Structure 1
Amino acid sequence: YVGLNFANWQVSFGKQSLWWSPTQGGPLMFSDNADPVNMFRISRVSPFKLPWILGWLGPMRLEWFLGQLDGHQFVFQTDTGIVGQFGRPLDRQPFLQGQKISLKPTRNFEFSVSSTTVFAGGPGALTWHTFLRSYSLGNTLHGGDVGDPGDRRSGVDFSYRIPGMRNWLTFYGDAFTEDEFSPLGYPRKSAIRGGVYMPRIPGFPKLDLRLEGGSTVPPDFSGCNGCFYVNGHYPDGSYLNLGSLVGSWLGRAGQGEQVWSTYWLSSRNKIQFQFRHQKVDGDYLPQGGT
């Protein structure tokens, strides 16, 4: 791993994990659930503001990366069929590119938009053409079609401190959707996770409470049966690095809740209670459950 800081920007290369969400239990778009990804990354170290009227967007941060996944054994293309064999990683692994813009228009509200694309791999080499095509707009072709830009995801996340109670109560969450412009425009086709954090409980100033819950089973999208984190171009799983999801532990068709409560004995010592519940959708995995 090597890194260089200059003029409030950081350029780094090597194995890195990202955490693209204010959630503590695990982001939907990019988390440390999988092994770190080999990547070239450019990120803004300190926030900046745009000039003139655009200053209302508040302090901003930018981040971009290009990485290569590992552990994939198969790739499907319509012109070649399935390429690969069991037990042997592809000689040419898929690539993953992503970017995130974070804004803070008010002292209480933070908001971010992000996107990632898995592309190339197997018979598909990384070229300027395949790289630029991964940024193309419009609906994605069927996975594996010639000209397919890749397996694309878009996400949002936010954090909001309640005015008048900003030191007592914070709401936050994140969401992502497959092959659509934004989960804000397609909430019924999106995976969603949310939470609430109380840094202190009335009457118990040393006790905090955090609640989170989410689902990758859209309530009003019957065509989605384990449709997240997958793509026909990558039969053994698209959004994986060395066999583990780059996204959330909720998985492809899961639901889960988490609770943390911490009693701070001092600034260094604490007692913490944790609880986590997870279940798999029975329509995706027969007899699935908790």
Structure 2
Amino acid sequence: MRSSNPVFSRRGFSRDNGGHAGFDAQQQHQQAGAATNPYATNPYATDPATGMPQAPARADAMTIDDVVSRTAMTLGTVIVTATLAWVLLPVDPANLGKSYGIGIGAALVAFVLAMVQSFKRTAVPALIIGYAAFEGVFLGVISAAVSTYLSPGVVIQAVMGTMCVFAAVLFAYKMRWIRVNRRFTGFVMAAAMGFMLLMVANLLFSVFGGGDGLGFRSGGLGILFGVIGVILGACFLALDFKQVEDGVTYGAPREEAWLAAFGLTMTLVWIYLEMLRLFSILSGDD
């Protein structure tokens, strides 16, 4: 399965990962289940007829603990660098331009690192941690500016909102209220593509025409698109949970836990930024 991340598509768990022969989908026509199960041709999956494992489990297979620990490292890096940026990069009027410049530069570096990782055949922890560090700097600058010039409570609201969305989606997924299949994935990816194209168009109109462009990020339309952005982020979380579940169930290599952490971190950053924008508009001072 390809990535559910809203920024770009990264490789999924079903590719060859250097020495893990057979984990990649080598015979896509072999089983009918391959149409919906990205690991259906994996020799470590269970036999659908007998329910017994087709091959012994590997000692280096990915576990939930691996995903949790890697995600804690990436999110911890984001939080630490965001905190440092908030404290060390002043956003007072005399230094606002400089701080914004550093924040935008950090966001561009984070994007480049994320793109490089997306084209790698295997997870590179240094790239993922680097992405988290620079993304944290960007979030720290933006959050400090919003807290200073809008409302100090907006950042806390955005953090709590992100946590609530994560918990709600995880609970709904575990209860099987959300069923991730090809139709769900296709709908979410198509909706995300349309959403991002509208945001890019809004940005271009804003840059060349001034003001808020098409108005998709302020007022009533801003609230509507903020809610849509949060809902899309929740859908991406469900897709990420599905990838993690499939990877653990069907014996993904342990290093794939880094990719799972990478995707979850990007999705949570997406939700936080949408929450920050939404609560900023609702505060009445967009």
TM tier relative to shorter chain: under 0.3
Q: Which has the higher contact order (CA 8 A, sep 6+)?
A: 2
TM-score, normalised to structure 1, is: 0.25
